[in-house]
Amino acid sequence: MNVPINQELVEQLKDSKGQQRVDINELQQIAQLLNDVNAKALIVDGNCYVVFAEIINVEFCLQGISRRSELNFIPDQKLEFIDTNRMRGSYLSFLINEVWQGNKVAAKLLRMSSLLMPLAALNAVIYFFAGTSGLKDVFSGILAAVSIFVAIFSLFTTSADYLSRKRLSLFESGQLGYYFSVDKHITKTGVYAIIISILCLIATSGYDPNKTVPLQWGAPTDTVIWIGLNLCFLGVYITLRSIVEFYVNRPANFIMSDLKQDSFLAYREKNDE
């Protein structure tokens, strides 16, 4: 804050509004000058926001604070601490979850097989039928399809879906942060598929379009193309499956659950009359 922290400043803050950037030591000094340290702290992205009951209209912003223990100068019974990032996952955990997910081992194996079987079928088609002359068309088609998807998903699908998710319960439970991280990971997967498609298009530029030769595993260029096809397929497959699960199946279940509660509420109100 770059000003002396004393009782006079605290009294001024009580009549102020807005946001104040402070460090942890400054916040502790402010808390020591309060009669009541009741407060609420929210971890949002990389910042911690704290509001004291005595300074209700001022939002103190701290950078680099992510754990309850870092605010240990406020007793547990006096602080409502909410970490909205607690359900966010890394990109690696997102990919692992796409392969190995389920409540039981059988469900996890089924999840894995649903990915490995199409991948095995793709490799069988490449081995027995793929030739060098048509590969540019294949990668061009993948590039066009994924590019259109990323544009539509990023600009329209997520924007419309964010509005329906704007609920305090989802925010404070961490679910909203989880959904946003999934959106980011899905988009990232699509972008990676685009990049790989472009690289593979460059790699296939040396193939003669009028001469078809089977791809040979072990030949440097053919091996790169083979791996590229697999990675593109995985990127597109994971992206499309994630869309179905997160933006078709789960919202449908969520809406049906809400409507069930509304239906029972209407029935109770009807019988209370």
DSSP for 53-69? Answer: STTTTEEEEEES---GG
Across the chain, how many H-helices and E-strands are there?
10, 5
Residue 52 pLDDT > 90, yes or no? yes
What span, in angstroms and rounded, lies between the C-alpha atoms of 32 and 232?
Answer: 57
C-beta separation of 63 from 46 below 8 A: yes
Asked if 188 and 91 count as a contact pair (C-beta separation under 8 A), the reply is: yes
> What is the per-residue pLDDT for 224?
84
pLDDT digits (tens, 9 = 90+) for 68-120: 888 989 988 999 998 888 878 888 888 888 888 878 888 888 888 888 898 88
- Is 96 in the same domain as 206? yes
Q: In terms of domains, do 141 and 226 share one?
A: yes
Tell me: do 24 and 108 sit in the same domain: no
Same domain, 37 and 72: yes
Same domain, 16 and 137: no
Could you give the number of structural domains in the chain? 2
Do 100 and 76 belong together in one domain? no
Helix 91-99 vs helix 220-244: angle between axes, to the nearest 10 degrees? 80
Shared-domain flag, residues 16 and 115: no
Which run of H or E residues covers position 41?
Answer: strand 39-44
The model's confidence at residue 220, banded by pLDDT at 50, 70 and 90, is: confident
Is there a single domain that holds both residue 13 and residue 57?
yes
Is residue 36 in some structural domain?
A: yes
- Residue 138 CA, chain-centre distance (Å), reads 30
| Confidence label for 39 from pLDDT (cuts 50, 70 and 90) | very high
pLDDT at 158 over 60: no
Of 36, 57, 83, which residue sits at a domain end?
83
Ramachandran region of residue 252, left (φ > 0), alpha (ψ -120 to 50) or beta? Answer: alpha
pTM: 0.70
Q: What are the phi and psi torsion angles at 18 (to 5°)?
A: 115, -155
DSSP category for residue 134: G
Same domain, 78 and 107: no
Does 57 reside within a domain? yes
DSSP string, 207-223: S-TT---B--BTBHHHH
157 has pLDDT over 70? no
Let me know if 174 is exposed, middle or buried by CB neighbors in 10 A (0-12, 13-18, 19+): middle
Residue 216 identity: Q
Q: Which two tokens stand for residue 190?
A: 């699509």
Q: Are residues 184 and 71 in the same domain?
A: no
Token look-up 């790699």 returns: 203
pLDDT of residue 40: 92
Kindly state whether residue 1 falls inside one of the protein's structural domains: no
- What's the CATH code of the domain at 33? 3.30.720.210
Range of the domain at 62: 7-83
Amino acid occupying residue 18: G
Among residues 51, 83, 115, which one ends one of the domains? 83
Residue of 194 and 247 predicted with greater confidence: 194
Residues 100 and 215 in one domain: yes
Nearest to 190 by CA among 232, 156, 241: 232
Question: Is the same domain home to 78 and 96?
Answer: no
| Average pLDDT of every residue of the chain | 81
Nearest to 224 by CA among 247, 201, 255, 252: 201
Q: What percent of the chain has pLDDT over 90?
A: 8
CA gap 53, 71 in Å, rounded:
16
Q: What is the DSSP string of 165-205?
A: H--HHHHHHTHHHHHHHHHHHHHHHHHHHHHHHHHHHHHGG
The residue-averaged pLDDT of 220-237 equals 85
pLDDT of residue 248: 66
- Identify the DSSP state of 89: -
Residue 2 domain flag: no
Q: Which of 83, 104, 122 is the last residue of a domain?
A: 83
Residue with tokens 């539509």: 152
